[in-house]
Amino acid sequence: MRDIQNLHDDRKINIRKVGVKTISYPITVLDREKKLQHTVATVNMYVNLPHRFKGTHMSRFVEILNRFYGEFNLKKFHLILEEMKQRLDAEAAHLEIEFPYFLEHRALAGSIGTERYECRMHGSLQDVDDLVMEVDVPITLPGTDPAGEGLPRSMGRWGYARVAVRFNEFIWIEDLISLVQQGIAGTTGLSGSVESLCRQLGEALGETRAIGWFRVEVENLADGYSTFASVEGP
């Protein structure tokens, strides 16, 4: 019996994308304070317009991932993409990882020692490399201190800011989060709107030299639904 995959050149329909997805994987990422941070990622790997792709090639994605087991940084991203593109003989290669990133923060009474930020890195390689880094920064409503013991409880969740950037020069996840948090703090309070907060964050990112491109989406959790606004720049 002939391998059905080899026949594709005779057919009208060519595969545009093929790959593996939702691989759960323990990884390490760069951490400015602690050098490396251990976390758990969800990984997608796929290629565009592979030539003479056979089903058995599917295992190559996983082999490549396993060879780089452990560490994800910008350099590794590039190496994985290059190996994918080459070994699968494809026009373009894509690598997407999503992971929670934890930051220790000022030990307020009653605060969790670490705060969680959902991060995503989407790299692709066609002729040149492209990398987009995205992070979700939760926005909470600062509460009052009912018992007068220096314990300001949150009054709930206002929403979040989702920020995606391409950079001109390396930028730490920590610094991107700081930038957003300062932008939020700079607003005249959360009585404002998703539009005004979105513009404010857009301006802050637009003025940051290390950032070559950005997209901001601000979402406010309302009664049973959300309102949102987004900007892109420059």
Contacts of a copy of itself in 108-137 (CB under 8 A): 109-116
Q: How far is CA 174 from the centre of its chain?
A: 13
CB of 125 to a copy of itself, least distance (A): 19
Span 68-97, contacts to a copy of itself by CB under 8 A: 69
Nearer to a copy of itself (CB atom), residue 147 or residue 185: 147
H or E element that contains 181: helix 173-185
* Residue 117, C-beta contacts closer than 8 angstroms, at least 6 positions apart: 100, 101, 102, 103, 135, 136, 137, 138, 173, 177
Nearer to a copy of itself (CB atom), residue 75 or residue 106: 106
Nearer to a copy of itself (CB atom), residue 116 or residue 170: 116
- Cα angle value 44/46/48 (rounded, 5°): 150
Single out the residue of 2, 33, 35, 107 in contact with a copy of itself (rule: CB under 8 A). 107
Single out the residue of 74, 131, 190, 210 in contact with a copy of itself (rule: CB under 8 A). 190
Single out the residue of 2, 33, 35, 56 in contact with a copy of itself (rule: CB under 8 A). 56
Structure-block tokens of residue 32:
């400015």
Tokens 């060519």: give the residue: 14
* Residue 31, C-beta contacts closer than 8 angstroms, at least 6 positions apart: 37
Stretch that binds a copy of itself, among 2-10, 71-79, 121-129, 164-172 (CB under 8 A): 2-10
Per-residue contact string for residues 130-169; x = within reach of a copy of itself by CB under 8 A: --------x-xx-xx-xx-x-x-xxxxxxx----------
Span 214-233, contacts to a copy of itself by CB under 8 A: 219-233
- Burial class, 211, CB count within 10 angstroms (exposed 0-12 / middle 13-18 / buried 19+): buried
- Cα angle value 182/185/191 (rounded, 5°): 145
CB of 214 to a copy of itself, least distance (A): 10
Question: CB–CB of 217/228 below 8 Å?
Answer: yes
* Residue 31 lies near a copy of itself (rule: CB under 8 A): no
CB of 76 to a copy of itself, least distance (A): 16
